[in-house]
Structure 1
C-alpha cells in the first residue's frame, strides 16, 4: 500500500501516514488567514525564503546560510539523489526505511543497496558499516528515527559512520527528530560530508503545506542550490509557514503530548501482545508511530477496516500505526483486542 493513494471516505480514523492528530491553534490560524489576503497571485513566490530560513535556523540551532527550503523534505531528498546519483552509482540505506529513497534512486538510474535490519528491536552498526564498505557505496541515506521501525541511532553512532565514510555524503533524514530529541544539525560544520533533512509535516502538524529543509555546510549547499528548481514552495505555503514558525513553543507542547500518547498506546498494545490468542508483536518507537508484526495480518487489516480504521500495511508481515488522539488510540486498541484476544462466552 502506497502512502500517496487516495483515502476512501469510509475511514473515519486515518493512522497510516504519520500525520499529527493536533490541528493548528485557533489564534495562530486566525493570524495565518489574515495574512493570506496580502498575497499577489500574479507574482512568483519568494525564492530565497530568507525569513523562513532565519526562523527555522533559530529553532534548529544553526544559521540561515546553512539551510535550503523546499517543497517538503521529499524535494530535498530528490535534490540530493539527483545531484549525487546516476548510472553506476550506489546508495546505501536500511531495509526497511522510507520508501521514497527507492523511488528517487531508481528514477535517476542509480542502484540502491539495503542493509537488512533483521532484529527490529536493535541495530547492528558494525554490520551496517561492513555492508557499506563491501558494496563500495557512493552515498548513504537513512531516516533517524527510522521510518517505519521507530529505531533511532545515537549521535555517537552516526559520528562513527561519518568518520568511517569520510569521502561519502551521509544524509540523515530527521523527519521525526522532535519525537526523539537527538539531532546531527550541530555537526554540519564539523563533518563536511553531513547533510540533514527536516520537515514541517510531522511534529509541526503542517503536512498540507509541504515545506521541508536541507541543512548542511555552506560548500555543499552552494553546490546543491545551483541544481535546485526555483519557486517550488508556493506563496500560500510560505505565508502560512512564516506565521507558524514564530510559535515554536506550540510544537514543543504538542510533541510532549504526542510522546505521552505514544507511550500509553505502546503499553496497551504490549498488553494485547501478552494476552493475544494469535501471534502479534509491537516494537518500541522514537517516532510518532508504532510498528507491529503478525502472521495474521489480513485478519488485522480486515477487522480494523470494518471499524473504519486505516493503518499502514507493508508487503511482509509488518504494519505501522500512527499515534492518534486519545480517542483514536482507544478505538484502535479496542479494534485489535476484538481480533486478537479471545473473548470467551457460553
Structure 2
C-alpha cells in the first residue's frame, strides 16, 4: 500500500534526532539546538501543575473554551477581547489548521526564505503549491520587490517569520503593516514565535485587517516547550472560521494550566528575556573578536549574523565537524547545512551558559588550527 501522491513527492521537514533523550545523564547538557528556553519555567507553573495533579480532574476532557486563559491572553496581546484569540496544541498545529481552513488546492503559498521549513512541508503534504521568495545575500527583505512578487504570482497566502528563523533578523514592522494593508486579497501569516525577544508585532492591526493571522508559542520565552501550546491572534471572523475545524479537546489541561500560570508571572519571563538579550550581545561580541582573530589565517574562519531572537546563525567551514565537536562536549547546536550550506544555529542561553559555549569554541579553534 502506497501513501497518497502528495506524500510520495514530499520533501519532508528535517527534524533533529533526539539523541539527548537517549543519554542517561542529562544534568550538564546544554541543549541549544531547538531554541527552547535554557532554564525551567516559572515557579508559578510548577506550583499550578502540582496543584492540578492533586486537585484537578485528570479523568475529564480538557476545558474546550478556557475563558480565563483566553482573557489573560487577550490582555497580554493588547486585544479588545478574547474573540481575537484562540489557543492551539502548538503554533505548528495552528499552521495546519490555517492551511486547511483558508486555502484551496489550487492556491499558491509564498514563503519568505530561508525560514522555518515545517510550514512548507505541511502545505506540500496536502497538495498546496509553495513558491519561495528568497532573501538577498545578507538575508535582508526588499518589500517593494516582494509586493510585486505577490501580485505577479497571484499569491493567496504569504508566510513570514518575524524575527526570522534561522537568520534572527527582525523586519521593519511598519513596512510589514503597509504590505498587509495594501494587499487585502492575500492572507498574511506572520509567525511571531520569537516575539518576546524583539518586542515588535503587527498585533495592533488585526481588528482592521481580516487578511492577517499571527501565530505565537509558549515554547520559547515562556519555557513551556514540552507542553506544546500556542495561539492565534486574528480578526474574530477568522477565529470563528478556524474554530469550525479546530478540535477543542486537543489542548491538554496541563498545557492550559501551565500557560495561564506563566502569564501570571510575566516578571519571570521578562527577566529571562533580559538575561538572554545580555547573553546574546556578549556572545556576539565574542564572535566578533573570534572572527577578527581568525580572519588572517590564524584559526578556523567563521562569520555570523546579528540577531533579534534567542539564537544566532553562524557560517563556518565543515559545519558538521564543528557541531560534532561541541556535541562530544555535551553542547547540542543545530546544523542548518541542509538549507543554508556551511551554516549552523546556536540558541542563546544565559550568560554563564554562553561562556561555556565560547570556551569550547576556543578549544575547537586550537584543535583545528592548522
Q: Note closer, same or farther for the CA distance 1:297–1:4 as it changes in structure 2 (3 Å cut).
A: closer
Where does 1:315-330 land on structure 2 (aligned, <5 Å)? 315=338, 316-330=341-355
The structure 2 residue matched to 1:79, chosen from 84, 97, 100, is 97
TM-score (norm 2): 0.88
Given the alignment of the two structures, is residue 23 of structure 1 paired with residue 40 of structure 2, yes or no? yes
Partner of 1:58: 75
| Partners of 1:210 and 1:38 in 2: CA distance | 22
Where does 1:250-265 land on structure 2 (aligned, <5 Å)? 250-265=268-283
Instruction: Tell me how far 1:308 sits from its aligned partner.
Output: 2.0
Q: Is the contact between residue 42 and residue 269 of structure 2 (CA under 8 Å) also seen in structure 1?
A: no
| Partners of 1:241 and 1:118 in 2: CA distance | 37
Instruction: Tell me how far 1:57 sits from its aligned partner.
Output: 1.0
Partner of 2:308: 286
**Which 10-residue stretch deviates more, 77-86 or 59-68?**
77-86
Aligned length: 345
Q: Is the contact between residue 82 and residue 104 of structure 1 (CA under 8 Å) also seen in structure 2?
A: no
Given the alignment of the two structures, is residue 336 of structure 1 paired with residue 361 of structure 2, yes or no? yes
Given the alignment of the two structures, is residue 239 of structure 1 paired with residue 251 of structure 2, yes or no? no
TM-score (norm 1): 0.93
Q: Is the contact between residue 88 and residue 110 of structure 1 (CA under 8 Å) also seen in structure 2?
A: yes
| Partners of 1:93 and 1:66 in 2: CA distance | 25
Instruction: Tell me how far 1:165 sits from its aligned partner.
Output: 1.8
Instruction: Tell me how far 1:344 sits from its aligned partner.
Output: 8.0
Query: What does the per-residue CA deviation read over 1:254-286, in whole Å, with 9 as the maximum and x for residues that have no partner?
Result: 111111111111111121111122331110001
Q: Note closer, same or farther for the CA distance 1:246–1:150 as it changes in structure 2 (3 Å cut).
A: same
Partner of 2:9: none
The secondary structure found in structure 1 opposite 2:333 is strand
Instruction: Tell me how far 1:27 sits from its aligned partner.
Output: 5.4
Partner of 1:139: 157
| Partners of 2:184 and 2:152 in 1: CA distance | 16
Instruction: Tell me how far 1:329 sits from its aligned partner.
Output: 1.0
| Partners of 1:344 and 1:93 in 2: CA distance | 39
The secondary structure found in structure 2 opposite 1:263 is helix
The structure 1 residue matched to 2:60, chosen from 25, 43, 46, is 43
Q: Is the contact between residue 39 and residue 235 of structure 1 (CA under 8 Å) also seen in structure 2?
A: no
Where does 1:83-232 land on structure 2 (aligned, <5 Å)? 83-232=101-250
| Partners of 2:238 and 2:62 in 1: CA distance | 24
Q: Is the contact between residue 92 and residue 119 of structure 2 (CA under 8 Å) also seen in structure 1?
A: no
Q: Is the contact between residue 32 and residue 38 of structure 2 (CA under 8 Å) also seen in structure 1?
A: no
| Partners of 1:300 and 1:23 in 2: CA distance | 27
Instruction: Tell me how far 1:302 sits from its aligned partner.
Output: 2.5
| Partners of 1:320 and 1:26 in 2: CA distance | 29
Q: Is the contact between residue 300 and residue 369 of structure 2 (CA under 8 Å) also seen in structure 1?
A: no
| Partners of 1:132 and 1:305 in 2: CA distance | 42
Query: What does the per-residue CA deviation read over 1:161-186, in whole Å, with 9 as the maximum and x for residues that have no partner?
Result: 11332111101111100100111111
Q: Is the contact between residue 178 and residue 203 of structure 1 (CA under 8 Å) also seen in structure 2?
A: yes
Instruction: Tell me how far 1:49 sits from its aligned partner.
Output: 1.6
| Partners of 1:323 and 1:284 in 2: CA distance | 12
Q: Is the contact between residue 169 and residue 195 of structure 1 (CA under 8 Å) also seen in structure 2?
A: yes
Q: Is the contact between residue 48 and residue 257 of structure 2 (CA under 8 Å) also seen in structure 1?
A: no
Q: Which 5+ residue runs of structure 1 have no aligned equivalent?
A: none
Given the alignment of the two structures, is residue 70 of structure 1 paired with residue 88 of structure 2, yes or no? yes
Q: Note closer, same or farther for the CA distance 1:147–1:32 as it changes in structure 2 (3 Å cut).
A: same
Q: Which 5+ residue runs of structure 2 have no aligned equivalent?
A: 1-12
